[in-house]
Amino acid sequence: MFTILGYEEAVNSCDCCGKSELKGTFAVQRENGDILYFGSVCVTRHTGKPAKQVRAEACAAVEERIRMATAEYVDCPERVAVEAKREQTRLQGISVGVAFRNATKAESDADNQTRALIAAKFGLKPYQIRA
């Protein structure tokens, strides 16, 4: 039994047959927690699911992780702090440009770092978090 986790463009060889130079692979997880990457032929063979269903499940799995990562990120203290600092800076009459970036840099850096950590925890890129 495999759970389909998503489609990975960065992994280009199949862990089943060894075929390489693939456009991407499907990340799947075994019941014991191992994560493997299968090409489109092998993934249908191992899951017993047609390609269309595999693609749909991969999309749904990624969407679910984006939803969970976004939920965690919007409530994290670094996010709250940077929003507060930006608001405070705007109230001081600084709202754009270098002055604004400098005034909010410390909070912004901490926020970006946390965003990247949360994204990585869910197997996502920072830009995939929707907030």
14 binding Zn ion? (CB under 5 A): yes
Which phi-psi region, left, alpha or beta, contains residue 3 (left: φ > 0; alpha: ψ -120 to 50)?
beta
17 binding Zn ion? (CB under 5 A): yes
Select from 8, 12, 13, 16 the one that contacts Zn ion (CB under 5 A). Answer: 16
DSSP string, 59-81: HHHHHHHHHHHHHHHHTSHHHHH
Cβ neighbors of 14 (< 8 A, separation 6 or more) are 20, 22, 25, 37, 38, 39, 42
How many residues form the binding site for Zn ion (CB under 5 A)? 5
CB of 1 to Zn ion, least distance (A): 18
39 binding Zn ion? (CB under 5 A): yes
> Is the Cβ of residue 4 or residue 14 nearer to Zn ion in the bound state?
14
Select from 4, 42, 119, 124 the one that contacts Zn ion (CB under 5 A). Answer: 42
Q: 124 and 69 in contact (C-beta within 8 Å)?
A: yes
Task: Copy the structure tokens of residue 4.
Answer: 């389909």
Q: Select from 14-22, 26-34, 47-55, 82-90 the region that touches Zn ion (CB under 5 A).
A: 14-22
Residues at the contact surface with Zn ion, assessed by CB under 5 A: 14, 16-17, 39, 42
